[in-house]
A and B are shown apart, each in its own frame.
Chain A
Amino acid sequence: MSETRQMRHGSSIGQPVTRRDGLLKVTGQARFAADNHPAGLLHAVLAVSRIARGRVAALDLPAARAHPGVVEVMVTANRLALALHPDDKSVPFSFKLDLLQDDRVRYAGQPIAVVIAATLEAATEAAALLAPRYEAGPVEVTLDAPGGYVPESVGVGDPGEMRHGDVEAGLRAAARRIEATYETPLQFHNAMEPHGVVAAWEGDALSLDMPTQGLALTRMRLAALLGIRAEDIHIRSPFIGGGFGSKLLSGPQVLGILAARLVGRPVKLVLTRAQMYGPVTHRSPTRQTLRLGAARDGALTAIHHHVRTATSRHDDFLEPSAGVSHTLYAAPAIATTNEAVRLDTGTPGFMRAPGEASGSIALESAIDEMAHACGMDPLEFRLRNYAEVEPVSGKPFSSKALRECYAEGAARFGWAGRPLAPRQMRDEDGLLVGWGVGTATFPAIMFQAEARAVLRRDGTGLVESGTHDMGQGAWTAFAQIGADSLGLDLDRLEFRAGHSDLPNAGIAGGSGHTATAGGAIHAAGAQAIARLTEIAVADPRSPLFGAGNVGVVARGGRLLRRDDESRGEAYADILARAGLDSVEGRGSAAADPAAAERYAMHAHGAVFAEVKVDPELGQIRATRLVGAFAAGRIINPRLVRSQYYGGMIWGLSFALHERAAMDPRTGRVMNADLAEYHVPVNADVPSVEAILVEEQDPHVNALGIKGVGEIGITGTAGAIANAIWHATGTRIRRFPVAIEELGR
């Protein structure tokens, strides 16, 4: 193991290499799932429910079937039998699926039929001709729904209640107390690429073009549902147009596969934008109450973070918003509690930084309110309550450069000299100006992954791992790790990814893909090098003969004696003399339970925001964002910066733009499109900067990677909310901030 733990100083890791798939993307040659058109392709279109609860009483099947071009209409009666009930959740990270199992409607937008036709237009028209009639029941779709329950767990197995110390005593002892309730909205992922599938059956073998963040899990569940062997399912997912947690296996994709089986021809099924507001998960609304106590000197005495959130009536996922309070600020007493209510909606799920994003905006707002109550600068207040160890567990951090993040971010932003009181700054146009700060945090999570690495006789290398590129740059970052693990220049490495037939790379989620699959690739490369080394050092004709004790270094396609780098030999020569075409290594990676037992492992960051507010209209512009993040080893600073930008812009969106508005009468989303579901455009984001703060973590994993996919969204939304308060003196606790609450 010491071999894989040892970090090579290769030429690729740490370099700001541009995306290897960039040219394909900008020239339109990158082939996304829906770009595939196998011969004989038919088009499938979903008919979805317009009611949120009840049953489908009738469908006009004759009208739909009679429409020119229609091949078949798939409904409950003719849908093929499944080997596993759609509600079965034995595969990890899965949710109950709606696969036309009966006439029940559990939420608006649920698939109720699939029309398969020669053209997309014919299928679309025939789906409208189904003209469903319903028996509709009353619906509850907001957090104001009556009742609720106390969940045993939230998120993925996190406890529903956590108590550390005596919060009530801490509050009683406090010189200052605040209690405030914050609301975050219902949100949908809205990946640019809609969920879809192109499915083709050949006998019992299934060929799929389908975006997925988890090739192996998707294949496992499909095999179970369809009753076929996993090896007979071949999924190509080379490019994913954004997933953000919504692109594991979705019900509509399974329906596309079943439709192909039914008609015996390849079928493409792609959701419309509106259909993405139902069966493919979302982030639930939350209502969070923070009670904080602080001593006269600003030291927190207690944090109580209570969350009310929602799940669907038929399945379970609760946004674990209070988790951020376990790790971020030192306090002798911390409690987190949850309550939940069941709604007539699709099931919520993992949406970028599930829990951390929604919890961060509430916690960071409350911390800011307490800083003000204590008469302290909000950054000074955060430093006053800096957690030297993880507050709840008492464990040391594997590494934590948050102090440096605060310092570098504040310096770059120009935080010094910020007036303590709100409504003190104006720009030359008379707009109110405010500055705010928020702390970013996200746990360093790992899953399980495998990889294969090969050194070939022609001096090139091959790395295989079924990794997932969602736009974050997996094609590039993993190739960089692979090249270094094999001691090859990047252009000598072939990297294969995005296919279910390759070694299982786990999932692209939890910000853990680079650490996990990267660790597996690194280990595979190390094993290939170790095997090559064994051959060389045992061969009297090699300049490396007998170097086994001093060790060798692999670099630039050559093995070199560690104690004398002038003595070495090219890989190709070693293989040729040994009469081998190649030498292969296999590697795997997973979280190290021993390290997790000893250390708390999180990435951190500090985000500073400037906003300008029109005092007459309440219109808000986030004019500057500066984020400084420490997330362990950075494989590719260009890609990482891009991830931080994306996260911070999503944080801005969280604070100011995104909200799905539910019609409480029908249970339908009223703004199920990108015209009315607002996301930031370029004009909304004048300036974003991301600073990469140096952090070396010897404990978190072999490569020292913590992950950067989600942390950017945390901290940012709170920073903007706090800047709005600083600009206006009005504390908005419901997000996104409505301009009408400021325009007074």
Chain B
Amino acid sequence: MYDFAYHKPSSLADAVKLLAEDPDAKPISGGMTLLPALKHRLNMPTALIDLSGIAELRGIKREGDAIVIGAMVKHFEVATDPQIMAAIPALARMAATIGDTQVRNRGTIGGSLANNDPAADYPAAALALGATLITDRRQIPADDFFVGMFTTAMEPGELLIGVSFPIPEKAGYAKLRNPASRYSMTGVFVAKGPKGVGVGVNGAASCAFRQKEMEAALAANWSPEAVANIRQPANDLNSDIHGSAEYRANLVTVMAKRAVADAG
């Protein structure tokens, strides 16, 4: 194992300062992706900046018509928080299906959103619900945040501190998990809110995306049948040893149908 420095700041300001001082330093939250990457030598930072000691990054609160979740909130907390379960139960249910028990008790919502793994669950929810991503320096709408595979609109040194989800009228989620890795092969999050209908898709492409044809269909007729015959073009979808692009295209339709049924 190679050497690196380890810092555990207790304030956001200290964390941002440490990151600014060393461009090769990396923040670490749950470490669900970064630690394996270090072990595989895919990433060799000079320093790890552990965010777990920063109180400003924790906590779940209701602010008006939105639920605001701190970046360091763990999946298990999202899955079991009474406020989230009451306001956006689909989000809690989604969190309960991430990885396994160990992952849910280590991994964080901020880490997942900032990492933007194509198969991560939360980006689809953020897109469908019209969430706002809050960083140390600005607020970014979900539509602008998820830029591409493992890529977000955040700049080097910028820290995600939380995410604000508008409370929908109803929402639902369905995914097909790879039975071995339990990553999402394709998941669809549907939401009907004050600003309209959102359909977010994860796992299918290089980056989570909105399925606008389905959004229009559900806006006109909120029912599983409304999306049952909408075919997602396979052109830009992932094809790998777990499933072809055509198979994932089919999954988008099936999961959308099941997500609407889940939403009720």
> B201 on the interface (CB 8 Å rule)?
no
Contact assessment for A675 and B181 in the assembled complex, using a CB-CB cutoff below 8 Å: yes
Contact assessment for A121 and B1 in the assembled complex, using a CB-CB cutoff below 8 Å: yes
* Complex Cα spacing A675 to B182, Å: 10
Per the CB 8 Å criterion, the residue count for chain B at the interface is 14
Q: A663-703: contact bitstring with B at CB < 8 Å (1 yes, 0 no)?
A: 00000001100011010000110000000000000000000
Contact assessment for B241 and A671 in the assembled complex, using a CB-CB cutoff below 8 Å: yes
Residues on the A chain within 8 Å of B1, using CB:
121, 125
Residues on the A chain within 8 Å of B244, using CB:
740
> B5 on the interface (CB 8 Å rule)?
no
With A125-B1, A675-B181, A678-B180: A740-B247 Cβ-Cβ less than 8 Å: yes
* Complex Cα spacing A740 to B186, Å: 13
B243, B247, B251, B254 — most chain A CB neighbours (10 Å): B247
In-complex Cβ contact of A739 among B41, B180, B181, B243 (8 A): B243
Tell me what chain A mostly uses at the interface: helix, strand, loop, or mixed: loop
A-facing residues in B206-259 (Cβ within 8 Å): 241, 243-244, 246-247, 250-251, 254
Which residue of chain A is the closest to B2 with respect to CB atoms?
A125
> B176 on the interface (CB 8 Å rule)?
yes
B1, B41, B250 — most chain A CB neighbours (10 Å): B250
* Complex Cα spacing A684 to B179, Å: 10
With A617-B251, A676-B180, A740-B247: A128-B241 Cβ-Cβ less than 8 Å: no
B16 → chain A closest CB, angstroms: 34
Residues on the B chain within 8 Å of A676, using CB:
180-181, 241
> A224 on the interface (CB 8 Å rule)?
no
B-facing residues in A32-50 (Cβ within 8 Å): none
Residues on the B chain within 8 Å of A659, using CB:
241
> A565 on the interface (CB 8 Å rule)?
no
Residues on the A chain within 8 Å of B179, using CB:
683-684
Give the tally of cross-chain contacts (CB within 8 A): 34
> A744 on the interface (CB 8 Å rule)?
yes
A671 → chain B closest CB, angstroms: 7
A-facing residues in B38-67 (Cβ within 8 Å): 41
* Complex Cα spacing A128 to B41, Å: 10
Contact assessment for B180 and A661 in the assembled complex, using a CB-CB cutoff below 8 Å: no
B184 → chain A closest CB, angstroms: 13
B-facing residues in A724-741 (Cβ within 8 Å): 738-740
* Complex Cα spacing A676 to B178, Å: 10
B-facing residues in A162-191 (Cβ within 8 Å): none
Contact assessment for B180 and A740 in the assembled complex, using a CB-CB cutoff below 8 Å: no
Which residue of chain B is the closest to A679 with respect to CB atoms?
B180
Residues on the B chain within 8 Å of A678, using CB:
180
> A62 on the interface (CB 8 Å rule)?
no
* Complex Cα spacing A618 to B248, Å: 12
Contact assessment for B250 and A744 in the assembled complex, using a CB-CB cutoff below 8 Å: yes
B81 → chain A closest CB, angstroms: 29
B-facing residues in A91-147 (Cβ within 8 Å): 121, 125, 128
> A375 on the interface (CB 8 Å rule)?
no
> A564 on the interface (CB 8 Å rule)?
no
A676, A684, A743 — most chain B CB neighbours (10 Å): A743
> A616 on the interface (CB 8 Å rule)?
yes
Which residue of chain A is the closest to B254 with respect to CB atoms?
A616
Residues on the A chain within 8 Å of B176, using CB:
617, 619
A82 → chain B closest CB, angstroms: 34
With A617-B176, A617-B251: A740-B241 Cβ-Cβ less than 8 Å: no
- 20 intermolecular pairs with C-beta atoms under 8 Å apart: A121-B1, A125-B1, A616-B254, A617-B251, A618-B247, A619-B176, A661-B241, A675-B181, A676-B180, A676-B181, A676-B241, A678-B180, A684-B179, A739-B247, A740-B244, A740-B246, A740-B247, A743-B247, A743-B250, A744-B250
The 7 closest A-B pairs by CB, nearest first: A740-B247, A616-B254, A740-B244, A661-B241, A740-B243, A678-B180, A743-B250
Q: A125-B1, A616-B254, A618-B247 are in contact. List 8 more A-B contacts (CB 8 A).
A: A121-B1, A659-B241, A670-B241, A676-B180, A676-B241, A684-B179, A738-B243, A743-B251
